Amino acid sequence: MTAYMLHCDIPLPNNLSRSAYLPMYKDTNPSPYPAFPGGPYRRRYPPARVESARLRVGRAYMHYLAAGDGPPLVLIHGYSASSNWWRNNIAGLAAGRRVYALDLAGFGRSWPKHTFSLRSAVDGIVAWADAMGFEKADFCGHSMGGHICIRLAEAYPARVDRLVLTDASGLPFNARLPELAWRGLRGSGHTGFRFAPTVVGSSLQAGPFVLYGALRDLLADDVEAALGRVAAPTLIVWGERDVLIPLAHGLRLHQAIPGSQLVVIPGAGHNVMLERPAEYNRVVLDFLK
């Protein structure tokens, strides 16, 4: 990937220069940052046949969407979300690989709905992969899904080929719950209120017990000590204007994960794969080649 100089006007972690070399991709919105040469990316992907299936894994029923053929790429959604949040990416990412968008146990159309923990989510993904018949895969996680992918790469390094972390949680928020809720509401402006029914629907699918368990673990778990042990080649993708999990978190992940790459997509917020699907798909596919 081509690198450009980015002058950061945000608080940065200790020992990170005020100037960081980060790849930047063209965006149609005005941005103070340099752009990817050659104009906005508008590749059209051929239609992909997306399958919906549910697999029994132990006492759980794991639902997933799947498309394409080739090496497996597993997409892990974030908090209060579901596999449906990847709907703008499945066809594009299915070029040359088998893409699975998984509903974590308790979320979307997966069951049961009465409990959730980050650790059980990690073990559940591995058990699901065993049942699907593949020992190793590329994993791509958004927000809480990125947090889970970090724990997956730490606990099961032999199962992770390459790792994509998208606006991932895992580092301390340093904010109280009301502030986080307000930041999440502000961040929804980048996606647009037309997405509100999807947010409400996926929250109702999960239910209060699952959402409480996930939020409890998100706020309590700190992955910083595990980052240096992530052995898989890692790409970190961040929305420049993410107010829920700011870019400073992405820079800290980039600094701590050995050999990682960081791509910032100008103008995008927290749900970058929904807001800028064409740019996001290209960044991920370039990395997975």
Look at 72 and 114; give whichever has higher pLDDT. 72
From CA 233, how far away is CA 247, in angstroms rounded?
20
Over residues 44-58, the mean pLDDT reads 80
Q: Is the pLDDT of residue 173 over 80?
A: no
Nearest to 155 by CA among 182, 119, 189, 107: 119
Domain carrying residue 210: 47-288
Asked, for residue 34, whether it belongs to a domain, the answer is no
Sign of CA dihedral 168, 171, 175, 178: positive
Is 90:47 a contact under the CB 8 Å cutoff? no
Position 184 scores a pLDDT of 60
Does some domain include residue 38? no
Averaged pLDDT, 108-128: 93
Mean pLDDT of 257-278: 94
| pLDDT tens digits for range 148-168 | 999 999 999 999 999 999 999
CATH number of the CATH domain containing 183: 3.40.50.1820
CA distances from 221 to 80, 158, 205, 257 (A): 17, 23, 24, 17
What is the CB-side half-sphere exposure of residue 80 using CA atoms within 13 A? 16
Instruction: Name the token pair of 177.
Output: 């719950």
At residue 31's C-alpha, the angle toward residues 26 and 33, to 5°, is 75
Write the pLDDT tens digit of every residue in 125-149. 999 999 999 999 999 999 999 999 9
Q: What is the pLDDT of residue 211?
A: 87
Q: What is the DSSP string of 55-122?
A: EEETTEEEEEEEE-SSSEEEEE--TT--GGGGTTTHHHHTTTSEEEEE--TTSTT-B--S---HHHHH
Say how many domains are in the chain.
Answer: 1
For residue 18, tell me if it sits in a domain.
no
Residue 9 is predicted with a pLDDT of 36
Residue 194 binned pLDDT confidence (cut-offs 50, 70, 90): low
Pick 36 or 232 by higher pLDDT: 232
**Percent with pLDDT over 90 in the chain:** 60
pLDDT at 187: 57
Question: 11: phi > 0 → left, psi -120 to 50 → alpha, else beta; which?
Answer: beta
Residue 159 in domain: yes
Distances (CA, A) of 239 to 23, 53, 140, 190, 243: 12, 31, 15, 10, 9
- Report if residue 9 sits inside a domain: no
Token pair recorded at residue 209: 């017990």
